[in-house]
Amino acid sequence: MTTAFLDAPGPLAFAHRGGAAHAPENSWRAFEHAVGLGYRYLETDLHATSDGVLVTFHDKTLTRVCGQDGRVRRLSSADLATARINGTEPIPLLEDLLTAWPDVRFNLDVKDAPAIAPLPEVLRRTNAWDRVCLVSFSASRLRATRRALGRPVCMAASPLGTAMVRFGGPRGRHDRPGPGQPGPGRQAARPRQQWPLTDWLARNGVRCVQVPASVATAPFIHRAHALGLQVHAWTVNDRPTMERLLDLGVDGIMTDETVALREVLTTRNQWHPRIWS
């Protein structure tokens, strides 16, 4: 279970929302800072405007980040162009980011259903199929995204998939005795076909699990690795936790503190920076 998105030397260092400790979250200034540090992987969020333009923005509304009213999906791209993150930074377009750094990889959290339809065309125009990994906290939204793409793309597990990795499953369905059929204590009903978890994950395009640091325990990491999956922990902003997770064998860390994570990895001889062309 490999994909080009994950083929860089590990552990993978993700700049969460571009590296929100050093610049306003999901802003051009944050992304540029992370790329300048040598980050190969940027994590961000997707919403679509009312006219189908994909923007890298976390919240459904502008209230917290931009200090003004407005729901992203109900605003046109022209309306959104006047909004400013923290009062100073324009909201980036996904296509512009993919074009600006054609060697950088993007972990994309699909935050709302309207972001699904425009995504395949943006990835086609930028030829970014192998440079993205898609995730969502909604299993149904992730399924819809997979169907819309119509071709294999790296996917992180949904919460349902993560629970299956953590606790085991899917367990398959079993025929229940119908009227006149043997019941409990008699001849057991024959089970329907059951898919091993590895097959289920592969059929759904899952190549990694991305979980809070508290979930990334040694048993969880061991189980994920046995299934051929990478484990990426978020959002890790203190050095002791970074060190602990790396000692446990996580395959990637997402952080707002991009300078700190680079220093930790450098000290461990595990920093693999992007190479400028």
| pLDDT score for 185 | 43
Domain for residue 40, yes or no?
yes
Segments in the chain below pLDDT 70 = 1-2, 169-195, 276-277
Question: Could you tell me which residues are beta bridge partners of residue 210?
Answer: 232
Domain for residue 126, yes or no?
yes
Domain for residue 8, yes or no?
yes
Residues 6 or more apart in contact with residue 240 via CB below 8 angstroms: none
Half-sphere exposure (Cβ direction) of 201: Cα atoms closer than 13 Å = 29
Domain for residue 138, yes or no?
yes
Domain for residue 130, yes or no?
yes
Tell me the residue range of the domain where 108 lies.
Answer: 4-59+92-169+196-267
Active-site annotation holder among 22, 33, 47, 58: 58
| pLDDT score for 168 | 79
Query: Known catalytic residue: 232?
Result: no
Active-site annotation holder among 16, 33, 47, 232: 16
CB contact at 8 A, 232 and 209: yes
Query: Known catalytic residue: 272?
Result: no
Domain for residue 133, yes or no?
yes
Domain for residue 203, yes or no?
yes
| pLDDT score for 201 | 87
| pLDDT score for 198 | 87
CA-based nearest residue to 12, from 276, 243, 273: 273
165: domain CATH number is: 3.20.20.190
pTM of the model: 0.89
Structural domain count, the chain: 1
| pLDDT score for 234 | 98
Which contacts qualify for 160-163: CB closer than 8 Å, 24 or more apart?
161/201, 161/204, 161/206, 161/209, 162/209, 162/211, 162/215
